[in-house]
Every structure is written in C-alpha cells, then in structure tokens.
Amino acid sequence: MNRILFFLIALIALALAILLFLPGLVPVAAFKGRIETQASNALGREVTIGDDLSFRIFPRTAFRVTDLVIANAEGFSGDYLASVEEADIGVKLLPLLSDSVEIDRFVLTRPDIRLTRAQNGAVNWNLAQTETAETSETQSGGAPRELKLGDVRIVDGAARYEDLAAGASYVADDIDMTVVLKSLSEPLEAKGSMQFQGAPATVDMVLTSLRAIMDKEPGNLKLDLQVGDAEIGADLALALKDGLRYSGPASLSAPDLPAFAALAGTQLADAPGFDKLSVKGDVDGNDTSVRLENASINFDEIAAQGAVTLNWAGARPKASGVLSTDKLDLRPYMPPPATSADGFPAWSDAKMDFASLNNIDADFDISTDAVYVNDLEFGESRIKLLVDSGRLTAEIPELSMYGGQGSGRVVVNARGATPSFAGNFDVGAVQAQPLTHDLMKHDNLLGLGSFKLNFAATGASQAAIMRTIDGSGGFDLADGALKGVNIAGLVRAAGEFTEGFNPAALQRAVAEARGPQQQTDFSEFLSDFSITNGLVTAPTITLNGPYLSMSGQGTINLAEQKIDLRLLPKGTTVLEGQEGGRTVTIPVRVGGTFAQPTIGIDAESLARTGLQRTLGNVFSNKNEKEDGEEGAEDEEVDPARAIIEGIIGGQKKETGDQPDETQESTATPEETLINEGLNALFGKKKAAPKEETKEEEPQQ
C-alpha cells in the first residue's frame, strides 16, 4: 500500500515538473514560421511576427508574441492593415478539449489599425475578399463552437479611417479599452477612452450578440458616446446581410456645433449662426445616410418637429425633410440691423457674410407659426427652402404678415465673390402702421391695403445693395391716415390768403398743420413705382379723403435716404356731393431724409407753375373785380393767383387798419425769395423808408 501511495506521489511530481519545465524545453521560436503560415492562410493576408516569442503553461497557459503585423490589401497604400507591438494571450487548456476557446487574458499593447475605403468603394479590411476555398473550408469546419473572453484590454492603441471617395479621414489615439465577452451568445461589452480627432472621448458600448453579427443575422447595439462637448446615444437594431443597416431611437446633443462638425470631418464657415444642435428621434440608416422619423430638432433658436434625412456620401452633406415649428428665427443668420439715435439708421457698410450657405445643401418644406427677419415679424407661413451649393431659394406659397395674407419668393446667391439677391412679394389686407414701424422705424402711416414688390440687387453690404437695387412695385391703402400732418387743413389755411401774400400767416398755417396730433384722413391712397439703381420713381400718387383729394409724383433715393415728393392737394370746405363751399388747390412738397422728413408749401412750384397758370386769370378777372363783381360761393380759389395779385399791386379792399410795411417779416427764406423774385419780375419796387416814401401807382 505504501508503495502504491509513493508511486502516485512520484507521478504527480513528474506531472508538475513537466508543467514547470516543459515550456522551457520546447523551442517556441522553431514554430515561428509555421505560426506565420497558418495565420496568413487563415486571414488571406501575409502575417509576420517578431523573434521574441514565449509560451508557458503554469500557473496558467499563456502565449506572448511581439511585432505582429497583418499586411495591407493589394491596391492600397500603406504597409499594413494592423500592427501590434505586443500581444499577451492566456488560454485555458481544458475547454479546448470540448472545441471551445476560453481566453482568460488578451492584452494588446500599442496596436495600430489602418482602415481605408478606396475611390471605387473597395475596403482593405474585408478579409473575405482574399480567402481561398481551402481556407474557407478549414475555417468553416474548424471554427470553435464557443468563445469566452476574460481580461481583454487594449492599451495605448491607435486607429485611423480614411475615406478616399468622400475625402475624409478620422484618427483615434491613446485608446484604452476594456472588453468583456462571457460567450458568443451573450452581450459583448466595451468601455474605454481615447482621443478622437484631438478631442477627449469616452465610449460605453453593448453589442448583442457577437455570434449573430458573425453569422450576419440581426443584432442590437446600445451606444453611449461622448466626444468633446457632444453626446451621442443610440439603441439600434443591426442588420449586415446586405450591407450595414441600423434602426432605432437615437439622440445627438452638440452645444458647440462648429467643433462637433470639425470632429465629423466638416469645416463650417465662420459665419453667423450654426452655433448649436440637438436631435432626437427614430433613425433608419446605413453607412452613408440616415433618416430620422418623429424627430425633435433644436437648431440654434429654432425648435422643430418632423422627419429629416441626412446624407454625407458626397463632398457636401445634404439635409432634407418636412418640418413644423412654432417660430422660424432667421435673425442669427442675418446681418444685425443698424441703430441710430436720430431715428432711421444709415445703411451699414459692414460686410454681410453668407458663407454658411456653403456648409450644407438642404431641401425642406417648413410650416411655421412665426418668422423673424431682423425687425420684421411674419405670422403663420409655409416655406419651401432649397440650398444648393451656396444658393438659397425660399418659395413662400403661404405668407401671413401684419394681419394680411400673400405669397413671396426670395433668392440669395452666395456662389460668387459678391452675393446677389432677388425676390417678389404680393400681399393683401396688410396693416400699414406696424409694417412701416418695423420696416421704416416710424408709425406715421395708417390703413389697410395691399403691397407688391419685385426686386433684384447685388452687394456685400446694406449700402451696396441699396445702390444697386432695381425693381417695381406698388401699394393700395384704404381707410387710413397720414399722421403728423393735416394736408387738408394746410390747404384750407393757404386758401384764405385771398388778399395777397402774407408770409407770416403762411408760416403759421404750416406750423399749425404739423404736429403729433395732426393727421390727414383718406379713403384711398395708392401709387405704382419703379426702382433703378436705388432710385424709386413714382409717376403717380393718388390720395382721396374727406375734404381732400390729392395727386402727385416724385422720387425716393434709397441709397442716400432722401425724399423728394411733389403733391398737389385740393381741399374743399364741404364733403364730396354737397353743394356750396369752395375748393382750394395748393402745391405741397415732402422732402428731407428718412430720419428727418419735411413737409410744407411747395414754394418752387408756386413760382414756376402757379405763376404760369394764374397770370391769365389775374388780368382777365381784374376789371370785373374792380367793378365790384363777386365770384360765386363755390368758386375754386387759387392761392397762387391771390399771392401774385398781392405782389404785382392788385387792388386791395380798403381797411381801417393797414399793416406796417416796415414791420420785420417772419417769412421763410424760400417765401422771401419768391416774394422778391416776383416783385422784380413785375417791376414792383421795395418800399422806401416811411419818411421818404411817396406812394406810386403800380405799373401795369
């Protein structure tokens, strides 16, 4: 019995000695060539390893290899697909007897993987493209039924992906990753950190199951990825049978959109907007495009819902879809409006940057409750937005603005060195006061009506656009008013000067007709105009209202912000259709600038046209008036005629109180000029000092 026990002890000692000393007795380096050949046949690529090989069985089976290199595919630049400075692999022996591989340790130190997609779409990592029938049969017949991973790590790794077709490349460095796989049928878990495109990144991934993926059957991927400030989350169903496809809920949050776009290989132009983006919805995509259903999108200050498709296969990414939003805020992408303490601001010479139109192509159908373009506010509208290589076209079939409805179209072309603009708008039932307040920075126009405008311009600044704008348009307002001036009152006041030209009284009448409480009511106010190089020409201006009708014409210089309108209002003392009363006509001129407009009697017109029109009436009716004949009560009174009669010495009614001719005049320079000019024209001399004056008969 003792001998048997001694034999068993000796046998165990011999087994332990074999386990301890056998790895040292086996010349592992002698198997190097065979290992390289078997690995090359298995992968279909040349595989080489370094001379520093080691193998041990106790305390656990382990195999160590250095300088492992897997060659690149033919037709691709670069010497290798992958290289590993050191691989330390620990395998349990007993599971191998049951055709199962259980790796309790797999540590790759400083691996470097180089993935490339060629111009024709071929890839260098598809090992199946180079496998032979022999290796395929061997692999299919000898593949292990099970694989288990214990301590699997990547230490200080690197990876590079280069897409020659898209002209993009991505680099990951300092990769430290831990992988857990209990079996091929159970989830593969990977967690680690890296530097992606120079930005810190972390990844937490769960893939179920690896066997399904290997057999090209459906699987599932759960991903939490953080790159820089951006966060990506997804829970996707995977299918690889006919190429990569994925679907499921996903989210993206990029608080610094330019930085995230740069990480993704797209450089956004340094232009207003494109600051932040967050997206959430159900995705369905492949390796070149993705569609997002039930999407919730926050882009800068725009919050939208709908469906979006993003395709990045070309040189420029393209987004398309159908969206709805409560507000479409375009102010971040527009040059900021200029401000002025004097009212309407001067046009800015600052360069407007539309380079963001070259960041991405787009094709969207957008419905919105509100649109903001600088100080302009639009209501419920529908916009078809198309961006193609730097050219934006916005078709607006439904446009609500300031209570009205209409349609429009805007084109911004930033393809060339100097941007160009074109568009047209046609809207009706618009409230004029809030529109002019937001557009012209004043609220002096009231009424309800229609507006139409066609325009085209070029320029990189507001000032340049106003110098080059061409087009046409018109407006037709009803039941409104012109605030700040009472034209009817001004005409009636001027018509009271039937006894001659009284500069002080005229100046007083003009002052009384202007003011914040004064206004000119109208039943209709309309005009058509054309625009040439920033000069608006209105050949006809018509206004009709109670006690007043008016016609006129004029120009507005948009570039210089100057106004020059000549109006001929006709005021009456009774409403239209009533008998009696009288009619007064006097020319009015609107001038000044957008910031400081002016209005008053058109003195130049009085001197030029009023004189010509009334000279005949002055002399033809002079004898009748001297005989005491009175005009009819409803006779149209011509103030110009009355002024001229006073200047050239027409007979005045005698009154008990004659004005002192030496009294200092309060006439404006224009009125004084007209007075003296007409006096000189008709030979009327200036009054001499009172003590030396001898009244003379007026020359005829």
The Cα–Cα gap between 601 and 510 comes to: 8
**What span, in angstroms and rounded, lies between the C-alpha atoms of 33 and 46?**
12
**Does the pLDDT at position 659 exceed 50?**
no
Q: What is residue 672's predicted lDDT score, i.e. its pLDDT?
A: 53
Nearest to 616 by CA among 588, 595, 645, 656: 645
In this prediction, residue 692 carries a pLDDT of 44
pLDDT tens digits along 509-532: 777 888 888 899 999 999 999 999
Residue 468 clears pLDDT 70, i.e. is over it: yes
- pLDDT category, 169, cuts 50, 70, 90? confident
Q: What does the pLDDT read at residue 383?
A: 93
- Whether 173 shows a pLDDT value over 70: the answer reads yes
Question: In this structure, are residues 221 and 232 in contact, taking their beta carbons and an 8 Å threshold?
Answer: no
pTM of the model: 0.66
Q: What is the pLDDT of residues 229-285, one digit of tens each?
A: 999 999 999 988 887 899 999 999 999 998 998 888 777 777 777 889 999 999 999
What is the chain's length?
700
Task: Select from 331, 329, 338 the least CA-distant residue to 374.
Answer: 331
Query: What pLDDT digit, counting tens, does each position of 557-601 carry?
Result: 999 999 999 999 888 766 666 666 677 787 888 999 988 888 877
Greater model confidence, 91 or 50: 50
Please calculate the CA angle 361-362-365 and round it to the nearest 5 degrees: 170
Q: What are phi and psi of 209, to 5 degrees?
A: -110, 165
- Higher-pLDDT residue of 12 and 555 is 555
More confident residue, 405 or 168: 405
And the tokens for 441?
Answer: 């920075």
428 contacts 450 by C-beta, under 8 angstroms: yes
Share of the chain above pLDDT 70, in %: 72
Q: How confident is the model at residue 631 (pLDDT cuts 50, 70, 90)?
A: very low
Average pLDDT, the chain: 78
Residue 665 reports pLDDT greater than 70: no
Percent of residues, the chain, with pLDDT higher than 90: 38
pLDDT given at position 651: 41
pLDDT at 691 over 50: no
Distance CA 283, CA 227 (A): 20
pLDDT of residue 599: 80
* Residue that wins the pLDDT comparison between 373 and 628: 373
What Å distances lie between residue 501 and 94, 542, 638, 657, 679, CA to CA?
125, 28, 12, 17, 11
Structure token pair of residue 73: 């595919």
| Model confidence pLDDT, tens digit, residues 107-146 | 889 999 999 988 888 888 876 444 444 444 444 444 445 5
The greatest distance separating any two alpha carbons of the chain, rounded to the nearest whole angstrom, comes to 173
Classify residue 368 as exposed, middle or buried by CB count within 10 Å of its CB (0-12, 13-18, 19+). buried
- Which pLDDT belongs to residue 123? 87
Residue range 55-77, pLDDT digits in tens: 766 666 677 888 989 899 888 98
Tokens for 125, please give them.
Answer: 């990592």
